Amino acid sequence: MRERLRKAYRKYQNENLKYKKWYWKRNNKRELSSFNQPDLCSTQERILDELNRHGISVFPIEELLDKQLFFDLEAFYNQYLFDHEDKVLASRNEVGKKGVKKSFLFQLADDFKELDITNPMVKVAIQKPLIDVVNSYLGQYSELKYFNIWHTFVSGENAPMRSQLWHRDPEDYLMLKAFVYLSDVDESAGPFTYAKGSHPKGRYRKEAKWYKEEGRNARRSNDTEIRAVVPEKEWITATGKKGTMILADTRGYHKGGHASTKERIMYKNMYLSPKAKFKTHFNNNLSPEELEKVNYCKILGQ
């Protein structure tokens, strides 16, 4: 009986309590205060203001970070494509096949499980100008939980599926993801699309009608269902040239990656609060000397 009650509480905690503001505050040590808030420049303040008001900010990467980081990311993936052409081609040939998880998508994360600070995917994620914005938005020191490059293939006439449908990410009450386009992204390439103000700090907090995606426990909504809770005029379709950077609280409604005629290549990472119950997607084997280079923001929960 006790075990059943404990399991029921854990389920309720995972599905309901973690999305309550009071519970999130109580369970996270709020280490940022007026005494140790990051000193933000005017660009960082603008981005933070957009995040607080809309849940999303879109800008050229060089406004926040050294553009060489983008060039390094681009060269890193181009080299990967050269070295693994057959692997990428085999994945592209899976598009639309039933039983294939996210058949429209090729990902790098499984090939890079170590937190290597020389890896361009990691170097972008640990930049202080970016981390200062993330920590300021969360109101506490964040943790980097994930980094990846997504290569989205053309879905053609296949119906949208999985992350191509409107949804809220489930990992935390407040969270931020950073995206960088490594290819030009217009409306035919499945741009990231966001319902402004649907994040926890926003004005549109009503839950949309949803359905469970076949074979998964994920909640998905269509355009009509989102339109009923967030006016379409508040939707932002984040098209942009390669080098475009997006910061978004993905607890807000979003979708992307339904590429109709053009492929999309995009870097992404994710920051959560320290108490978020989400398994880190990489191994942290940094030496004390290497850790010194990133622990100014405690992104590793050290």
Domain ranges of the chain: 31-291
pLDDT at 302 over 50: no
In tens, the pLDDT along 185-203 reads 999 999 999 999 999 999 9
Q: Residue 299 — very low, low, confident or very high, per pLDDT cuts 50/70/90?
A: very low
Residue written as token pair 């978004």: 248
Most confident of 26-30, 36-40, 229-233: 229-233
Average pLDDT over residues 81-110: 83
3-state secondary structure of 25: helix
Q: What does the pLDDT read at residue 300? A: 39
Q: Residue 35 — very low, low, confident or very high, per pLDDT cuts 50/70/90?
A: low
Q: Residue 6 — very low, low, confident or very high, per pLDDT cuts 50/70/90?
A: low
Instruction: Say which CATH topology domain 31-291 has.
Output: Jelly Rolls (2.60.120)
Mean pLDDT of the chain: 86
pLDDT at 296 over 60: no
In tens, the pLDDT along 240-274 reads 999 999 999 999 999 998 999 999 999 999 999 88
pLDDT at 71 over 50: yes
Secondary structure of the chain as H, E, C letters: CHHHHHHHHHHHHHHCHHHCHHHHHHHCCCCCCCCCCCCCCHHHHHHHHHHHHHCEEEEEHHHCCCCHHHHHHHHHHHHHHHHCHHHHHHHHCCCCCCCCCCCCEEECHHHCCECCCCCHHHHHHCCHHHHHHHHHHHCCCCEEEEEEEEEECCCCCCCCCHHHCEECCCCCCCCEEEEEECCCECHHHCCEEEECCCCCCCCCCCCCCCEECCCCCCEEECHHHHHCCCCHHHEEEECECCCEEEEECCCCCEECCCCCCCCEEEEEEEEECCCCCCCCCCECCCCHHHHCCCCCCCCCCC
pLDDT at 233 over 90: yes
pLDDT at 183 over 60: yes
Q: Which residue has the higher pLDDT, 45 or 155?
A: 45
Q: What does the pLDDT read at residue 49? A: 97
Average pLDDT over residues 150-160: 86
